[in-house]
Amino acid sequence: MLWIFFIFILIILIMFIPIPIKINLNYKNSSLNLFLYNFKINFRKREKNKKKYNLDFLKKFDYNADNIKNILNNINFFKYKPKLNITIKLKIGFFDASTTALIYGILNSISSLIYTSLNTIFKINYYKLDIDPDFKNDVINIDLSSIVFVNLAKIIYIIILIKKNIDNINNSKNINFNI
């Protein structure tokens, strides 16, 4: 009986204690490296297998812009979103200084768009975007490091709410207005 109590307490702790997931993404010298908890994840080229998968479940939902916008709008107002700490460091440069300056300005103006789009899915605790222009060299270096704090209860809650939204969209699509 005591073992059942300890197992129950352990399951409750796993469900409600947030687990930090640390992700690092580096792009330097035309090579992409992805690290999950400092373990390197290797990318391999996929072999072209002509396997056919059953994707009938995707046909139930109508993927148009209004439905996806409605789901993302509802996700924005969720109470329990995963927390995110993110730091992005970009070093960008082209041989032409005017092109570098133009791209630098565009990237600085896009930073608020990146923050807003991340804020719809996550609750952002820390966000930092450093863009360093290099006017003499032709270089593109991206270093993205993030920590996502998520627990199992929040994941289950978000999946249930997204499924409810999809069901509401499908039900409202099936209503016929006969006059």
45 pLDDT tier (thresholds 50, 70, 90): low
CA–CA gap between residue 30 and residue 99 (Å, rounded): 20
Report the half-sphere exposure of 107 (CA within 13 A, side-chain side): 19
20-39 pLDDT per residue, tens: 888 888 878 777 788 888 78
130 pLDDT tier (thresholds 50, 70, 90): very high
Give residue 54's pLDDT. 58
96-122 pLDDT per residue, tens: 888 899 999 999 999 889 898 888 888
Is the per-residue pLDDT at 67 higher than 50? yes
Give the three-class secondary structure for 63.
Answer: coil
Is the per-residue pLDDT at 133 higher than 50? yes
Give residue 178's pLDDT. 44
Q: For residue 26, which of 36, 17, 18 has the smallest C-alpha distance?
A: 36
pTM: 0.67
Is the per-residue pLDDT at 146 higher than 80? yes
Give residue 132's pLDDT. 92
